[in-house]
Each structure stands twice: as structure tokens, then as C-alpha cells.
């Protein structure tokens, strides 16, 4: 059955320009991924009449993978499938495909296709869930690859679900929230979605809803980000999540991973304590892939402060160079100060050698574009996938640029500073550097955030040791006169050991 659907899907793909599908958030799941997702459900716990939903069904590959899996392995069950789909070009194929399946399975299978907007056709009122009629909570299972599409805050779909919208909404998490809402108690949903929701600030309200009303049972990660949608070559990092509608936390979350979507014969599996995977006030979802990652999260979670508790904050560089060309200069001169780019962060220090950019200097005509020459820790905001570290930082020493009262920072740098703009003392500066430069924090950041961007909100929310410990670490780094990661790791371990004694 699935092979038939796959062929129909490929025919459709060949006839439909990619940019047109992209504008509808339409990316199709590969056959192997669809099969794997279907097999993630715990079917045996359900009674003999199964109701399943595929919202945004496309050609129906996920729904059919589910139907095929159940009909093969649980022959006593009958299935009632509901599909939502709005795209009139794909609908004839969906209809054809489901009619084909019905023809094969006869009275073991029935279905309906609802040609309407999945979000706008429901009534999302989570806080009064008890009074909602059962017709809206009718599914034992939901399987979905939702549309991945950013929408405006005033879009009717975002307004209909404002409880889960915190920043910029995206249809994918509105779909996931609605599906959880539509599930029966103890029902299960399996979704393939981008990785971004697991930590970003924009997804805070979504995480709160998802992880309060439901609990993660399994996460599946793909090591290679460019191979998930096979023919589609979607660069977005994606993951599969299985969520059960329950308030009861499981003890462990199953974390599986494969290199790509065509490699499900080699699945690596790990069981991580639920509280390691979901933790913190903002309910970040951590994605450990081995025991070492679990240990990293557990170690960092022994810290109970954040940078803010020490009066510190990671801020973003001020100068957007292509917008401020009028203030930029090619060489030094009166009222002109050094402008720093991420290229200047090297070997744990900040230099001001020619960066290879056109302008390495900035004039002080706008005071909002310059900042005091004082102690900072600089950190690159962007690193490439090939680079071994996400957190790449350097100590900025004002005395290295002693003749200048001010400096400029391009916005591709983040820097740690005092919240109130006063000056960090030396031990604190070196302590913050050592922590950010350590293997522990780099691994932690990587587990927290799959992307190559260093997001200041996330660093500001990261658990940090308290101010006195940061200083002790910094003093030891200053005395050792060694900024290497090995030395930072050694000092942090030593201080942790001493202070836990
Ligand atoms: C990412 S595609 C996935 C298709 C299919 N489920 C698969 O896995 O290959 C999402 C589908 O949702 C449909 N869609 C987009 N917005 C929708 C909405 N508001 N209601 C129902 N379907 C929608 C798109 O037309 C598209 O076919």
C-alpha cells in the first residue's frame, strides 16, 4: 500500500514546483520516515476501534503508513481515519490514495477527508477543556508532518490559539498544540517538526502547553540535518516527537537517533531521565544522544544561578555595519575607535588585526554606536557546522587598546558585560571566559540548541555558578596564565570538587 502512495507522491512532486509547495509549507515525508513514525505508537493499549487523525495529510503517506502498520500487526482492530487538507491540487491524490486503501482493507478501514483549515475548524479552549464536547477530543492517535510556515501574530490561526503563541507564530506548533488538544486522555501523537521549539524563547508558551497537558515519551533525532526529507533536501533541522496526553511524567524518555531518514536499520537508543530532558523554568527540552550528554546536563543542573544573579548579562554587538556605513572608517584618526568583528576573537583573546573587512574603525559621531573600552568577554554569534565548538569566546582586555576610550562591536559578536554597564572586575571576566570556554558549557549549549547560532537569551538563562565561584575560577585562570580549554576544564573541575567538599 505504502509503495503505491509513495509513487503517487513522487508523481505529484515532479509536477509541482518546489517554491509553490514551499509557500504552502508543503514538504512530504519520506516512506522510511513515515514507516518509522507509524511504528512508534503503542497500539496494543487501545480498544479494537481505533480513531486516528492526520492533519495536513498531503498525499496521505503518514496516514497510510499508520493504517498499514496497524492492519498488518493488529488484525483484530478496525481503523477510522480523519484527514484534514486544504490544498486543492493535492486533494485529488489524497482522495484517490485513500479510496485505494479502502478497496484493499474493506470493512476494517473507513475514513473521511475534511477539506477545511485544521486550525480554524476547531475550538481551542484548553483551560476549559472539561466542558468541551467529546467530538473535539475524539482521537486515540495523531500522526503528522504539519505545514512549516511562519504566520503573522494577527493571522486568524495565531489569534485562535493565542494561549500557545509567545512570539512569532509558526503553523507547525499550532498544529501540534491542536493535536494534543484533540487527543483522548492517554492518546498518543507522533509529529515530525523542526528542532527550534525545544529551547527558543518564542516557543515558551507552546512548550508550557505541550509539556503540561502531555508528556514526551520519545524523541528521535537525525544526526545529519540535510537528509530528513530525502527528495526534499530541507535544510531545517527536524526531529520526531512522541507525546502522550497525560499529566503523569514517565521516568525516562526514549531518545533514538539515526544518521538520516533512510537509515532506520541503525537506530541508536538511549533512555534519559525525564527530568534531565525537560527542565528549567522555561521547560527547555534537552536533546542528549549519549551518557556523556546526560552527565553534562546533570552537572550543569547543579548550578542554580544565572548570569543575572551575578549582575551580568550577555548583550549583542551594537553596530550593524551595512546599515551604518556613514560612521565606518578604513583607518584610525581623531575621534575614531577600533571596531571589532568576530574575526578578532582568536585563541581566547581579542585582537584588532586587519579583519579582511573594508572598515575596521568607527567614528564617535553617534554615541549610541560606541561603548566603553573596559573588560568584556566576547563570543561569536555565528559558527559554522564544521567548527568543533559552538561557544567561541575571548577575553577583551582594555589595556590592549589603551589609547582608546571607546570601542565598537559589530552585531555578529555577543559580549558579556555588567547589566548596569559598570565594569566587570578581572576575576569575574576570566571566570566567565573559563566557563564559556569549557567543554562542559560548550557541550551543554550544543545539547540545548541544535543550531549554530549563539543566542544571548539562552546564554542568559543558562545555569551558572554563583558570583563568588565565578571569581575563584577566574583568579585561578589569571594565575595559571593559560586560556586553553584544557586548562579551563581542569580549573572548573577542581573548583567544583573543592566547593562541594
Ligand atoms: C508538510 S506538508 C505534509 C504532508 C504530509 N502529511 C506528509 O507528511 O507528506 C503539510 C500539509 O498541510 C497542508 N496544510 C497547510 N495548511 C493547512 C491547514 N491550515 N489545514 C489543513 N491542511 C493544511 C498543506 O497543504 C500540506 O499538504
Domain end residue (candidates: 188, 218, 248):
218
Q: Are strands 345-346 and 361-363 parallel, antiparallel or unpaired?
A: unpaired
Q: Are residues 328 and 455 in the same domain?
A: yes
Q: Are residues 192 and 94 in the same domain?
A: yes
Q: In this structure, what C-alpha cell is assigned to residue 134?
A: 467529546
Q: What is the mean pLDDT of the chain?
A: 90
Contact 194 CB / ligand 1 (< 6 Å): no
Residue at 185 is within a domain: yes
Residue nearest to atom 14 of ligand 1 (CA): 56
Burial class from Cβ neighbours inside 10 Å (0-12, 13-18, 19+) for residue 77 reads middle
Cα separation of 469 and 494, whole Å? 11
Q: Are residues 463 and 329 in the same domain?
A: yes
Residue at 27 is within a domain: yes
Cα separation of 169 and 192, whole Å? 17
Residue at 335 is within a domain: yes
Which residue pairs from 4-11 have beta carbons closer than 8 angstroms and sit at least 24 positions apart in sequence?
Answer: 4/97, 4/100, 5/59, 5/60, 5/61, 5/64, 5/97, 6/31, 6/61, 8/59, 8/93, 8/96, 8/97, 9/58, 9/59, 9/61, 9/93, 10/231, 11/93
Contact 29 CB / ligand 1 (< 6 Å): yes
Confidence of residue 224 (pLDDT cuts 50, 70, 90): low
Return the beta strands (E) in 31-106 as ranges: 49-55, 78-84
Q: Are residues 47 and 194 in the same domain?
A: yes
Residue 477 sits in which domain range?
307-500
Q: Are residues 197 and 340 in the same domain?
A: no
pTM for the whole structure: 0.82
Contact 230 CB / ligand 1 (< 6 Å): no
Q: What confidence score (pLDDT) does residue 455 get?
A: 86
Tell me the sheet residues that pair with 416. 314, 377
Which of the listed residues 7, 26, 179 should we mutate to test ligand 1's pocket, taking the one with most ligand atoms within 8 A of CB?
Answer: 26
Q: Which three-class secondary structure state does DSSP give residue 255? A: strand
Q: ∠51-28-92 over CA atoms, to 5°?
A: 70
Domain end residue (candidates: 203, 218, 233):
218
Instruction: Please name which of 321, 144, 124 lies closest in space to residue 209, comparing C-alpha atoms.
Output: 124
Q: Are 427 and 379 in contact (CB under 8 A)?
A: no
Highest mean pLDDT among 47-56, 160-169, 216-225, 271-280: 47-56
Q: Are 187 and 139 in contact (CB under 8 A)?
A: yes
Q: Are 363 and 399 in contact (CB under 8 A)?
A: no
Residue at 292 is within a domain: no
Residue at 347 is within a domain: yes
Other C-beta atoms lying within 10 Å of the C-beta of residue 105: 17
Q: Compute the distance from residue 390 Cα to the ligand 1 centre, in Å.
A: 34
CATH of the domain at 181: 3.40.50.150
Domain end residue (candidates: 190, 218, 246):
218
Q: What confidence score (pLDDT) does residue 138 get?
A: 86
Q: Are residues 180 and 325 in the same domain?
A: no
Between 263 and 150, name the one with better pLDDT. 150
Q: Are residues 355 and 465 in the same domain?
A: yes
Q: Are residues 195 and 318 in the same domain?
A: no
DSSP labels, 453-497? B--HHHHHHS-B--HHHHHHHHHHHHHHT---HHHHHHHHHHHHH
Residue nearest to atom 25 of ligand 1 (CA): 87
Q: What is the pLDDT of residues 79-94, one digit of tens each?
A: 999 999 999 999 999 9
Residue at 301 is within a domain: no
Residue at 270 is within a domain: no
Q: What is the pLDDT of residues 263-275, one digit of tens each?
A: 788 899 999 999 9
Is the pLDDT score of 311 beyond 90?
yes
Contact 86 CB / ligand 1 (< 6 Å): yes
Residue at 295 is within a domain: no
Q: Are residues 80 and 209 in the same domain?
A: yes
Q: What confidence score (pLDDT) does residue 501 get?
A: 44
Contact 87 CB / ligand 1 (< 6 Å): yes
Q: ∠246-251-257 over CA atoms, to 5°?
A: 95
**What phi and psi values does residue 431 have, to the nearest 5 degrees?**
-65, -45
Number of compact structural domains in the chain: 2
Q: Are 206 and 172 in contact (CB under 8 A)?
A: no
Amino acid at each position: 500500500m505504502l509503495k503505491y502512495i509513495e509513487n503517487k507522491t513522487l508523481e505529484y512532486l515532479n509536477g509541482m514546483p518546489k517554491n509553490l509547495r514551499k509557500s504552502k509549507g508543503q514538504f512530504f515525508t519520506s516512506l522510511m520516515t513515515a514507516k518509522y513514525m507509524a511504528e512508534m505508537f503503542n497500539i496494543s493499549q487501545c480498544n479494537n476501534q481505533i480513531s486516528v487523525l492526520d492533519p495536513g495529510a498531503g498525499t496521505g503517506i503518514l496516514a497510510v503508513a499508520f493504517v498499514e502498520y496497524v492492519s498488518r500487526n493488529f488484525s483484530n482492530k478496525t481503523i477510522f481515519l480523519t484527514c484534514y487538507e486544504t490544498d486543492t491540487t493535492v486533494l485529488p491524490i489524497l482522495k484517490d490514495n485513500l479510496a485505494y486503501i479502502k478497496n484493499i482493507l474493506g470493512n476494517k478501514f473507513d475514513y473521511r477527508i475534511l477539506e477545511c483549515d485544521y486550525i480554524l475548524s476547531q475550538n481551542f479552549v484548553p483551560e476549559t477543556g472539561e466542558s468541551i464536547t467529546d467530538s473535539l477530543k475524539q482521537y486515540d492517535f495523531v500522526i503528522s508532518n504539519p505545514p512549516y510556515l511562519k504566520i503573522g501574530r494577527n493571522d486568524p490561526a495565531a489569534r485562535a490559539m493565542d494561549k500557545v503563541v509567545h512570539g512569532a507564530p509558526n503553523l507547525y506548533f499550532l498544529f501540534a498544540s491542536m493535536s494534543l488538544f484533540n487527543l483522548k486522555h492517554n492518546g498518543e501523537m507522533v509529529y515530525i517538526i523542526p528542532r527550534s521549539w525545544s529551547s527558543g524563547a518564542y516557543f515558551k508558551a507552546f512548550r508550557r502547553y505541550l509539556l503540561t497537558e502531555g508528556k514526551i515519551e520519545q524523541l528521535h533525532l537525525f544526526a545529519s540535518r540535510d537528509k530528513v526529507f530525502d527528495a526534499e533536501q530541507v535544510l531545517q533541522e527536524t526531529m520526531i516527537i512522541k507525546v502522550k496526553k497525560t499529566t503523569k511524567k514517565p521516568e525516562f524518555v526514549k531518545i533514538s537517533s539515526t544518521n538520516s531518514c533512510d537509515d532506520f536499520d541503525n537506530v541508536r537508543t538511549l533512555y534519559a531521565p525525564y527530568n534531565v530532558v525537560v527542565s528549567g523554568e522555561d521547560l527547555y527540552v534537552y536533546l542528549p544522544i549519549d551518557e556523556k550528554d546526560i552527565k553534562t546536563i546533570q552537572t550543569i543542573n547543579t548550578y542554580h544561578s544565572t548570569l543575572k544573579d551575578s549582575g551580568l548579562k550577555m548583550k549583542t554587538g551594537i553596530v550593524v555595519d551595512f546599515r551604518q556605513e556613514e560612521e565606518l572608517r578604513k583607518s584610525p584618526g581623531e575621534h575614531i575607535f577600533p571596531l571589532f568583528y568576530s574575526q578578532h576573537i582568536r585563541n581566547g583573546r581579542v585582537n584588532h588585526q586587519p579583519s579582511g573587512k573594508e572598515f575596521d574603525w568607527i567614528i564617535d559621531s553617534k554615541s549610541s554606536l560606541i561603548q566603553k573600552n573596559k573588560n568584556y568577554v566576547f563570543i561569536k554569534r555565528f559558527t559554522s557546522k564544521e567548527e568543533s565548538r559552538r561557544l567561541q569566546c575571548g577575553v577583551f582586555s582594555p589595556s590592549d587598546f589603551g589609547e582608546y576610550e571607546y570601542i565598537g562591536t559589530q552585531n555578529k559578536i555577543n559580549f558579556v558585560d555588567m547589566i548596569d554597564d559598570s565594569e566587570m572586575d578581572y576575576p569575574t571576566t576570566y571566570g566567565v571566559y573559563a566557563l564559556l570556554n569549557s567543554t562542559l558549557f560548550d557541550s551543554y549549549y550544543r545539547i540545548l540548541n541544535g543550531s549554530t547560532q549563539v543566542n544571548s537569551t539562552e546564554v542568559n538563562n543558562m545555569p551558572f555558578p554563583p558570583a563568588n565561584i565565578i571569581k575563584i575560577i577566574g583568579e585561578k585562570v589569571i594565575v595559571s596564565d593559560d586560556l586553553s580549554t584544557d586548562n579551563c576544564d581542569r580549573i572548573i573541575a577542581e573548583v567544583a570538587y573543592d566547593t562541594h567538599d
